[in-house]
Amino acid sequence: MNANGYAQIAVYFIALLAIGLPLGAYMARVFEGRAGIAGKIFGPVERLLYRLFGIKAEDEMDWKQYAVALLLFHLFGYGTLYLLQRIQGALPLNPQGMAGIEQSSSFNTASSFLTNTNWQSYVPESTMSYLTQMVGLTVHNFVSAAAGMAILLVVIRGLTRRETKNLGNFWVDLTRSTLYILMPLAFVFALLLVSQGVPQNLSAYATVPLLQEKQTYTNPIKDQDGNNVMEPVRDEKGNPVLDDNKQPKMQQKTETLTLAEQVIALGPVASQESIKELGTNGGGFFNANSAHPFENPTSLSNFLEIVGLLLIPIALCFTFGEMVKDKRQGWAVFAAMTVIFIAMLTACAWSEQSGNPAFDRMGVDQQVSASQPGGNMEGKEARYGIANSALWAATTTAASNGSVNSMHDSYTPLGGLVPLFLIQFSEVIYGGVGSGLYGMLVFVLVTVFIAGLMVGRTPEYLG
């Protein structure tokens, strides 16, 4: 990898630390109920929500009550998202007239977004209405991330509290995570993405003429059951051509279509894209995800989105240090994650920049030059190059995000091993919002226990 690639990665980490350190301290103040200026801005909304839903912020829960509240909330969220998909054809904000989604796909999508998995077994721009994208998928992107932070808070309180069974209030943690942290960050990121050309509208899809006057292509014809319609092969005189058994040879029947215009999918993209990255979710507005030019149009939008991927997981390390009253612990966890991540990222970027050895034997030039980026550009967007593609691949799998700006199955064997290795690492190398850190804390506790036994001391962590 050339000096430009290393410089881009260095700037990326500098930006993460520059934003993550103050963000981590801010989140600690929010979770401890001392939000300062933010409390004056969002406090009235927070108190209004508590009054509307009958929540007493001062009433804390033990672990059983907290777990029940968490499960009931997600059960309700699953049911509403499933129902929204099934009846979207009869609901507003559906300018393309998308029909209701069949039950197996609705079940799969609801389960996926409920668990912050965001696996998409459908093509979003031809399946989901604007209402489903916004009220269904985007809302779940917020609350699934907020739930991850809520569980992290339970773990931190369990480590720091001494003489109580109470671990906080789930509804308060969920509300503060969403209202004070996720929504303001997503709002700012969405505006930045709009400035780069990411669409944010509720109008119908645009229809534009092709640059060529018209384009002709052949389309296979299928019957009502989806089977290919066959017809006899004919010679130049129009007579059927016979095979060795004196039977007519058959071929798939086709029709010639002339295309003079193209439909361009639009919609509320920026608002979903911002929380897709910040909440370590991954489900895109378009099927091509962040390789799509409307989700990720420029090098700056690409940089912003990769920053969003790791921003909150890294900031939560410093939040942990603030809340346990020992900042060194936050730095220690961050350092352990970062050492492994940088080793993985270096291997991926080096392998991709080295290119395909088989091409070298064929005399193909894979060296960096003024006219080409060099290396293995298969499956990568030319506007991002190898450094930003490898950085995204390592970051998205480390953060359990799942969004992509290149095709991982087109990576070299070693380059493709890195994303797979990070996935297998139990998603604790930064990991998802909240989940990565509380997963890493389990490793910390096991390590402290084993180390204590090895040196003959009573295992102790945070007193």
Please tell me the predicted confidence (pLDDT) of residue 425.
85
Residue 290 lies in domain: 3-203+266-424
SS3 of 317-380: the string is HHHHHHHCCCHHHHHHHHHHHHHHHHHHHHHHHHHHHHCCHHHHHCCCCCCCCCCCCCCCCCCE
Model confidence at 258: pLDDT above 90: no
pLDDT, tens digit, for every residue of 360-410?
888 888 888 777 888 899 999 988 989 999 999 999 999 989 899 999 999
For tokens 């559906």, the residue is 94
Model confidence at 173: pLDDT above 90: yes
CA-wise closest residue to 463 among 317, 318, 325: 325
Residue 286: CB atoms within 10 A of its CB come to: 20
Is residue 26 a part of any domain in this protein?
yes
Residue 80: CB atoms within 10 A of its CB come to: 15
Model confidence at 213: pLDDT above 70: no
Is residue 232 a part of any domain in this protein?
yes
Is residue 462 a part of any domain in this protein?
no
Residue 460: exposed, middle, or buried by beta-carbon count in 10 A (0-12, 13-18, 19+)?
Answer: exposed
Is residue 94 a part of any domain in this protein?
yes
220 and 150 assigned to the same domain: no
Is residue 434 a part of any domain in this protein?
no
Mean pLDDT, residues 86-105:
95
Distance CA 362, CA 118 (A): 41
134 and 243 assigned to the same domain: no
Please tell me the predicted confidence (pLDDT) of residue 214.
66
288 and 143 assigned to the same domain: yes
Model confidence at 99: pLDDT above 90: yes
Of the CA atoms within 13 Å of residue 462, those in its CB half-sphere come to 22
Q: Fill in the amino acid letter for 219.
A: N
Is residue 270 a part of any domain in this protein?
yes
Note whether 269 and 199 are within 8 A (CB): yes
pLDDT, tens digit, for every residue of 8-60?
899 999 999 999 999 999 999 999 999 889 999 999 999 999 999 999 999 99
374 and 226 assigned to the same domain: no
Mean pLDDT, residues 170-195:
97
244 and 366 assigned to the same domain: no
DSSP 65-107: HHHHHHHHHHHHHHHHHHHHHHTGGGSSS-TT-PPPPPHHHHH
190 and 233 assigned to the same domain: no
Chain-centre distance of CA 104, in angstroms? 23
**Predicted model pTM:** 0.86
